[in-house]
Amino acid sequence: MTEQLTASASEAFVLAPEVMDQLFFEARSANSFIDEPVADETLDAIYEATRMGPTLMNNQPLRIAWIKSEGARRAVAATMSGSNAAKALAAPALAVLSFDPEWHETFEYFFPHAAERKAMFEESTMRSSVGSNNAWLQAGYFMMAVRAAGLAVGPMGGFDHAALDAAINAETGYKSFLIVNIGKPGENAWFQRLPRHEADFAVRSL
Ligand SMILES: Cc1cc2nc3c(=O)[nH]c(=O)nc-3n(C[C@H](O)[C@H](O)[C@H](O)COP(=O)(O)O)c2cc1C
């Protein structure tokens, strides 16, 4: 395990140390990938794990687009700045994460025992922010699922959201918020590890 894990923390986890390393301590945001495709079955498995993470009233507003055709990939890259675009063009697998601002329409499906609570989300600004927040939560589960599949993520928020929505979300009305490169890390895949906040800065007990 890395030096970033305190001795007491290493004893607290019930998962094997190498699993914790793969998910957290040694996992990095990758900037390059080897040229090895990611199987469709792996992409399916990543969604199967992602969808099990908790969301508000089980609302699951995340919508994933796996970008498979060269045309779609070029359209995604066209919404990004130079270095991000190059990474998106080269990644073995590419996902656009969006949220559905009308996520409440399937309320009866995902919260059947109290479907009348759908009425709480009639107001569109609040509904959209609940959708965005919970899709971001699901994005975290998604990235951990990718790591659990033995792959690395390269998340990228630097793109023109309106342009990407016009290119791939026009029919659905979904709102894109994160592009994720996925694959096995390539040459010089990492920048220097940046500092994480210590617990005495970021955590308190009340
Ligand atoms: C929401 C989000 C947006 C990001 N946007 C970009 C981006 O546009 N371009 C980029 O190169 N890296 C981007 N990153 C990568 C971060 O810089 C990286 O995850 C962070 O520095 C931690 O790096 P590490 O996981 O290797 O420790 C983004 C990461 C996240 C989670």
Domains of the chain: 19-185 (3.40.109.10)
Ligand 1 atom with minimal separation from the 194 CA: 27
Q: Cα of 105 to ligand 1 centre, how many Å?
A: 32
26, 156, 161, 182: which to mutate for ligand 1, most atoms within 8 A of CB?
156
Burial of 78 (0-12, 13-18, 19+ CB in 10 A): middle
Site residues for ligand 1, CB cut-off 6 Å: 28-29, 84, 155-158, 178, 190, 193-194
pLDDT digits (tens, 9 = 90+) for 115-144: 999 999 999 999 999 999 999 999 999 999
Instruction: Determine which residue's CA is closest to atom 10 belonging to ligand 1.
Output: 156
pLDDT digits (tens, 9 = 90+) for 63-81: 999 999 999 999 999 999 8
Quickly count: other Cβ atoms within 10 Å of residue 2's Cβ: 10
Instruction: Determine which residue's CA is closest to atom 9 belonging to ligand 1.
Output: 156
Confidence of residue 58 (pLDDT cuts 50, 70, 90): very high
Confidence of residue 9 (pLDDT cuts 50, 70, 90): confident
Burial of 1 (0-12, 13-18, 19+ CB in 10 A): middle
Confidence of residue 8 (pLDDT cuts 50, 70, 90): low
How many C-alpha atoms does 95 have within 13 Å on its Cβ side?
Answer: 24
**Cα–Cα distance between 159 and 58 in angstroms, integer?**
29
Q: What is the pTM of this model?
A: 0.96
Q: What pLDDT, on the 0 to 100 scale, is given for residue 74?
A: 97
